Structures are given as C-alpha cells and as structure tokens.
A and B are shown apart, each in its own frame.
Chain A
Amino acid sequence: MAFLKKRIKAIAGALLAAVAWALAAHAEAPVLEYQVKASYLYNFARFITWPEDVVARQGNFNLCIVGAERFGSALDALAGERVNGQTIALHRLEQAGQARANRCHLLFIASGRDGTATGGPERGLLTIGETPGFLERGGIINLVEVNGRIRFEIRQPAARQAGLVVSSQLLGLAIQR
C-alpha cells in the first residue's frame, strides 16, 4: 500500500508540476497543454462515479483517446494507474465509433476529430472533448482555455443520462453556462 501511495503521490506531483509549467508557458509548448489535459482526464475519472453495474462488468478502467498522438508520452504515466479500485487500460482509437467495441469508460476526442461523435450520451461512457460546441453535439465535458488556463464545462443532464454521478465539487469548478 505504502509503495502504491508513494507512486500515486509521485505521479500526481509530476502532473501538477506539469500543470504549473503549462500555466507559465503553455503557448510555446503544446505538449505541456496535453500533459495538463492528461492529468485532468485522470482526475475526472476520480471525481465522477460510474454506475455500479458498469464497474462490476469490466475488469479494467478503459481510457480511450481519439487523437492520442497529441499527448505524446504524457499518457504513458497514466497506464497501469488505479482509479476507483480499477486499473487504467489505455486505448488509442482512430475514431469515436470504436468506443463501444473497446468498452470504454472514458472517451477523449481531440479537436477536429469529433466528426464521428455518437450524438447522444451512452450509458457508462464519459465523453470529453476540446472543441467548442462539443456539448451541444452530445458530449458531457468540454475542455476550454480561459485566460491561459485550461478549464472545463459540464453538461449535467447528459452526465445523468449516461448514469454518471458528477461530484458536486467538480460541478463547482466547472464553468457556469
């Protein structure tokens, strides 16, 4: 346990360091922006509760990325981490349509790649985008840049339709629309 805690702490530390750096110089280094986003993905997984039947059904926590190349190595740190008692399994997808086949819990769709969005919330699937209007097209969380900081908006009804319970604290941090 102690070993695990230490590792988690190290990772969280590394992620936050990356965030700090990103805050300082995200414009010059796009990779840093995705390091922050990677840590956000991990934290969304922690602050959102999946339906119990979905959790019980699958062994791993399937984290699926469309456009994973933008993250570079930032995603590698996430693979093998545990979230809500499950081990993260990373799936690099070509298009969003592959989510069901990969039993994805979380699906991140990079900007310019959401043309293939499903159009409606799917049970047990948290969809995250980074494109303006992503929520209107059926997404649950959308990452936006505000004053040099990466923030997020949440469409609570969509999350509810997907059977996901979003932490009130997370809702509190989200951009109010």
Chain B
Amino acid sequence: MSPLVQGFRNLPLRWKTIVSMLGVTTISLMLVGAGQLVRERQGFERQMEQRLTLLADVIGLNSTAALAFNDAAAATEVLGALASDEHIMAGALYDTRDLLFARYVRSDIEAPLLDTAPNVGRPTFGGGMAAITRTVKYRGQPVGKVHLLADTTEWSNTLWDYAAVAAVLFVVVLTIGLFVSIWLQRLITGPIIDLAQLARRIGQERDFSRRAVKRSDDEMGVLVDGFNDMLDEIGKGRAEIEHGRDELRKLNEQLERRVVERTAQLEAANKELEAFSYSVSHDLRAPLRSIDGFSRVLLDEHSATLNADGRDSLERVRRAAQRMGMLIDDLLKLARVTRVEPNREEVDLSMLGREIAVALQNQDPDRRAQIVVAPGLRAHADARLLRIALENLLGNAWKFTGQRKEARIELGMTTNSAPVYFVRDNGAGFDMAYANKLFAPFQRLHSVEEFPGTGIGLATVQRIISKHGGRIWAESAVDKGTAFFFTLP
C-alpha cells in the first residue's frame, strides 16, 4: 500500500471528508478545464481554417487574370492586400508549373516560402504557424496555386489568458469548496466525531451515565440510539455487578467475623479443656501415687496378715493404679503435644527409627521381630515430637505383631510428588470400616486383654503430624497387617 493511501486511512474523519470533497472538486475542475481547453483549441483551429481558406480563395480569385496573363506585378499587388490581416505572415502565388510567381511577406519577419508550390490540402498547424495551399481556378480550370502562412502564436496568448482565468476560477472554486466541505463535514462527520469523543471520554472516566445527543433521524440517529441503548445496558449490568459485589463483600465480612468469633470461642474452649485436663491429670496423680504407694506398703509390710484373696485384691488395686498412671501420663503427653509449637530442624529419621527399634528390642529381649529401617530418611521437623510419633507408631507395630512368629516391621518412604513416610507391619490389622475411629483419643479397636494400651497414642501421633501441617492415614485389613502413612511438608 502506498504511504499516501496509508496516510489518508489514518487521517481523522473530519479531514478525510474535506480532502475527499476537495479532491473530487479538483478532479472535476481539471477535467472540465481540460475539456474546455480542447474545445477552445478545436474552435480556434476551425476558425483559423475557415479564415485561411476564405482568404486563400479570395486572393486566388483576384489573381486569376494576373496568373493567366503572367502579370507578376498585378499578382503582387493583389497579395499586398494581405497586409491588412496582421495574422497573415506571408502569401505566395505559384503558376501552373508550381513555380513561385508572386510573394508577400509581412515587413517585420522572414517567412519561409518555398520556390515550388506545397501540396494542396487542408490547413496544417505547427511551429506557431498555420499553412494552407489552394488551387486557383478560373471557370473550373486551374490557373495556379495560392499559399498562405498565418501566425498562430495568438493561440498561446489565448492559452495563457485561458490558464489565468482557469487558475483564478480554480482558486475561487476551491475556496468556496473548502468552506462548503467544512460546512458539510460538520453536518456529516460532526455527530460521528461527537460520538467518538463521548466514547473516548466514557472509556477514560468510566462514567456510564453519559448519553449521546441525537440530532438526526438518519443512520447517525440509529447509531446514537444504539450507542445509548448499549450504555443503558452497560450501566444496568455494572449496577448489578456493583450490587452483587457489595452483597458478597458483606457476606464475606459476616463470614469472616463469624469465623473469627468461632475460632476465638473454640480456642478459648480448647484452652479451657487443655488446662482442665492437664490440671485434672496432674491433680489425679497425687492421690494415685498415694493409692499405689500405700498398696505397696500394705503388700510389703503386711502381706503376712493378708490372705491370698486380700493379696490378690491389693495386686489388682496396684495394677489398676499403675494403669491409671500410664493413662494420666499419656494424657499429659497429649496435652503437652497440643500446647507445644514444633521447632523444626533437620532430623535423621533413619537413626531415630533404629534407636527406637533397639529400645523396643531391649524392653522385650525374648521377642523375635525383624525391624527394617530404610537408610537416609530425612525430614525437616521437630525432633522431639517426631520421636514421640515414631515411638508410638513403631511401638504399635511391635505390639500388634506380638502374636506373629515372623514379625516384620518396616520404616520407609515412598516418593510421589512429596515424600510419604510409612510404618508397615504384618501384625493383627484392623477392619477398615473403623478407620475413622483410629485417631480419636480413648478409641480402641482391640480389647485391653488382647493388646494393652491407653488409646491415646495414635491421637498424639495425629496431633504431632498435623502440627507439622502433614497428614496421616492408614491402610489395613484384619490379619493382613497395617501400614501408616504420613507426610511432613
């Protein structure tokens, strides 16, 4: 695309209209001017042709006798009459043998006259001159030829006059055209420009309450109506959105407020509960210690005075007291875990696992169990809490594989997108239907007689893992062993 066309394309509408109108006017004027010029030229030539033909014939007619009687002086006299026409530069008469017979040349010039007659015919134009040659006849018989040369430089003057008039006309018409096109463009493009400005302003200020003014019932009117309708719709839409957003914000605020309230309530309740359970546990220990201590004193120092039934009862009291002590310890542990914030560091899980395995083996040296700890397990976690968690998990595994001849316990890691640690055993397992009770405190899936325990261990493990932001879950089936999986992100 030419840069001119490109430039025109990017011109504002106002100038596009004006340039188009002036362009059309200019082209029309040029065409009309050119047409008129051609017409003028043709008219001039026709006029010159007629004039020359007439003059040549008159000269010829007046020279017939002179030619017939070979009277060159008389012929020259006849030609002399040409002096009265200032446009005639030269004239000549030729005899029947086409030889120059008489001549006339305007005094101020040197005209090119041939010694032999040129061809007869219509006038020829060129070099600022017009030339004509005609046969001179007397009563139908040729007696010679007449040749005339006329000055057509007058035409150039006419041309210049014409050009001057055309130029003045051009300026006048273009000036009028400019005013008319400015006026017309206001009429035509004014509304469009107004609309464009309004659209720009609305785009900048986001003020959808503005409206375009309708001035006519033409396509512009339709456009303005459409534009206003669109603005109405947008305004309505925006109002709705605005309204919806307000509602949402209110709702959100309410929700947040409620959450904050509830959280505060919950925290308070939790704290109360923790404080309560801690103090209860703590306070329970003192009487428990008395019960246990005095029972032992009774057994140690007064066993002689007791019969077998009495001793058995005391033993039972002691076992119950000890069991209650364990329960209280676990409860305290759980409470402590709940209160403590994890202090993360690099932890060697493999080493931790091995230490716990050794401790378990030492507690029960008679048991045969294979504890496999995968090497190089590492985690970013609280070492103390993690030790508690692993003690519980491995302890559980140890406990529930108690009836297996070939007990096998495994601590390892699978890597999916994030590391997932697991403790797997081939112990008693449980029915997955009760999996939801697994991590609740005091919930047990086995009887104390079958497997001893307080039912707080897994609750503690779950607290520890969730304190780290991790997740714990189990996979198991009765008699097929159990696998605990947990993450420590």
Binding site for B on A (CB under 8 A): 5, 8-9, 12-13, 16-17, 19-20, 23, 40, 43, 46-47, 84, 167, 169-170, 172-173
Contacts and interface: CB of A to CB of B under 8 A. Distances in A.
Contacts of B142: 5, 9
B139 A169 contact: no
A135 to B, nearest CB: 18
B69 A46 contact: no
11 contacts: A5-B141, A9-B142, A13-B97, A16-B70, A20-B70, A47-B65, A47-B138, A84-B139, A167-B65, A173-B65, A173-B74
Interface string B311-347: 0000000000000000000000000000000000000
A24 to B, nearest CB: 13
B335 to A, nearest CB: 150
B65 A16 contact: no
B66 interface: yes
A169 B97 CA distance: 22
A43 B71 CA distance: 13
A112 to B, nearest CB: 25
Nearest to A168: B65
A19 B65 contact: no
A160 to B, nearest CB: 19
Contacts, number: 44
Nearest to B139: A46
A16 B98 CA distance: 12
A43 B96 contact: no
Contact of B97 (A16, A43, A172): A16
Contacts of B62: 169
A169 B141 contact: no
B69 A40 contact: yes
Interface residues of B, number: 17
B74 A172 contact: yes
Interface in B432-487: none
A172 B65 contact: yes
The listed residue with most B CB atoms (<10 A of its CB), out of A8, A17, A23, A43, is A43
A8 B66 contact: no
B292 interface: no
Interface of B: 62, 64-66, 68-71, 74, 95-97, 138-139, 141-143
Contacts of B68: 43, 46-47
A173 B70 CA distance: 10
B90 to A, nearest CB: 23
B96 A173 contact: no
A23 B73 CA distance: 14
Contacts of A43: 65, 68-69
A12 B69 CA distance: 11
The listed residue with most A CB atoms (<10 A of its CB), out of B70, B71, B74, B97, is B70
A125 to B, nearest CB: 21
B65 A169 contact: yes
A15 B69 CA distance: 10
A173 B66 contact: yes
A13 B74 contact: no
Nearest to A10: B96
A123 to B, nearest CB: 23
Q: Which 5 A-B pairs give the minimum distances between C-beta atoms?
A: A169-B65, A43-B68, A19-B70, A173-B71, A12-B96
Contacts of B66: 169, 173
Contacts of B138: 46-47
A12 B74 CA distance: 19
Contact of B65 (A5, A9, A84, A170): A170
A80 to B, nearest CB: 15
Given A43-B68, A169-B65, A173-B71, A17 B141 contact: no
A47 B69 CA distance: 10
A9 B96 contact: yes
A50 to B, nearest CB: 13
A154 to B, nearest CB: 12
B62 to A, nearest CB: 7
B139 to A, nearest CB: 7
Contacts of B96: 9, 12-13, 16
Contacts of A17: 97
A127 to B, nearest CB: 18
B143 A12 contact: yes
Nearest to B63: A169
